[in-house]
Every structure is written in C-alpha cells, then in structure tokens.
Amino acid sequence: MKKIIGITALLALLGACSEKKSSLAGDWQMTSIAVNGKTQPLDDCTKKTYLSFGKDSIIYHTFMQREDCKEDSFKLAYTASKDSIKVTNETGRIERSAYTIKNDSLIISDTAEMQGQKFTSRLVLVKKK
C-alpha cells in the first residue's frame, strides 16, 4: 500500500502560468495526501518530504522510513500554466497535474490509472518559511 501511496504522490507531484510561477518558487513541505478521498497517514520521515520549485525545475526531496529517513532527491523540468503543472519525468514523458495556491498552501490534484485501477490524489503542501 505504501508503494501505491508513494507512486500516487509522485504522480500528483509530477503531473502549474508564468505569472503564477513566481508564487510557486521556493520550498513546499508535504502536510497531507489523500487517495480516492481517504487521508493517508504520513510517518515522521515522509512528513519531511518537500518540493523546491525553481525557475524551470523542481527538486523533489524525499525521506523514506524504510531507508532510515535518509534524504533522496531528484530534479525534473517543469512548466506552469494558470492552473496546471507539466513535469517532464525521467523517461521524457510529460505528466500534468492541477494545482491551486491558497494563502500559504499548495494543493496538487491528479488522477492516474495503474494496473487497471483509477486513483485520484490530492496533495497539500505548505510554503516553508
């Protein structure tokens, strides 16, 4: 189940208008994730996960409990539009996710299909200060 949650979270993150790009800039800390409307528990390591939005790339910083909470990170290119983020993944495939920014919260929503099952995810991140 954790693998599905991780993959779904990644799809939500990989799947945002030049005017909004500046508001995306910076570090965003993961606070919650819901899959198919059900909030998923986050362990202390996963709660450290955050995204660093730069001018044209995102660095995804992950912390996994099964890896002794060590940080792993990878960088992906992205473009932003009024309400969606397009990220080019490691294989060159473009993933698109809807997003909104409300106050200091970034909400990324995505729908994906894996192994014949449809997953809808909603990831909430808070701007790090």
Q: How much is the pTM?
A: 0.78
Which one is predicted more confidently, 38 or 66? 38
Q: Looking at 10-19, 59-68, 88-97, which range is the least confident one?
A: 10-19
Q: What is the band of 9 on the pLDDT scale with cuts at 50, 70, 90?
A: low
Both structure tokens of 96: 């698109």
* Tens-digit pLDDT profile for residues 73-117: 999 999 999 889 999 988 888 899 999 999 999 999 999 888 999
pLDDT of the residue at 18: 38
Phi, psi of 13 (to 5 degrees): -75, -25
What's the CATH class of domain 26-127?
mainly beta
Residue 15's pLDDT is 46
CB 62 within 8 A of CB 38: no
77 against 20, higher pLDDT? 77
- DSSP reduced 3-state for 49: coil
Alpha-carbon span 14 to 88, nearest angstrom: 8
- Percentage of residues in the chain with pLDDT exceeding 90? 67
Residue 113, Cβ density class (10 Å: 0-12 exposed, 13-18 middle, ≥19 buried): exposed
Count Cβ atoms below 10 Å from residue 85 Cβ, excluding itself: 26
Q: Tell me the domain boundaries of the chain.
A: 26-127
